[in-house]
Structure 1
């Protein structure tokens, strides 16, 4: 299979049509070999327009969603990024192409090790993988200029906003299935956060997520 032709077709027919037009993001997608992050039995489907399975019932996002979220994060070369849920490491690699450093947290040690191998193969040196529970952010390297949460949450815990720099951007999938929305949050000035709804989707929940408060009347 000619993966380069398939990658170009993916960019032209899936990613561009989802309003991903930032040349930096398109270049990152063209440079990072997605087929090398996909489990071997699904390698021939690396550029298909749907999610792909990982171990433990986890999934890779569709290519167009990965690219759209990276564009919405508006990454710059000096940015420090937090990713919650390393998965295959592909999204980590895309963000590392555009940012200064990506800190990625994964609670499954075997997934983190496999992702580390993928990133090493790609020559990615500005990504630091952590094994642990990222459901309340990752305070060790805070604050961050951008945060991407790859599992869905019923509501966004305030701790994530507290770990975002002024001017920082956060993308999270909020709600419960099947009605989930992808939300972008901008920390526009101290203590002020502006939100915008991007699109609807449905993805598995983030593990260990804090439960929303229940009110008893």
Structure 2
């Protein structure tokens, strides 16, 4: 039996949370975004690699730089959202391993020059961190609207011209407009997605 506080937490993080398509005119503060990251950073990554990089677009000028890369269906909701986060991953994450994984002296060298391992590690763990960011936002009372539907090369050229950081996905954050939430779509049942061996 799940007790009430745990049930409320599960509703907040999963069962009651919805992908947002519209936003209330209510701002998100820098302090909230710092608190959001300070929760998300504790989610596990392999070897504590922590490759995710988050760019919080808050101003009209910052969002204007993003607009040429967005699919038409994502423009209005991104402009209306208080914040649009570029969730990206850094292919030079291993430069930080002496700090993040100090008990293994050769951690950095196992990645240097190994492009396939760098890409798979950065993408996999950066994706995990993007999911942690969504859960942290929900835990703090914020709503999220994660999105595909953009030209990745345009975003990388505009925001990460050095080439080491690559966009993964976008996520609008703020206070969702309940009137613009779509009907919940079905999910796969346990027997359709899982197996015991």
Same fold (TM over 0.5): no
Considering Cα pairs closer than 8 Å and 6+ residues apart, tell me whether 1 or 2 has the greater RCO: 2
**Highest Rg: 1 or 2?**
2
Higher strand residue share? 1
TM-score (norm 1): 0.28
TM-score (norm 2): 0.30
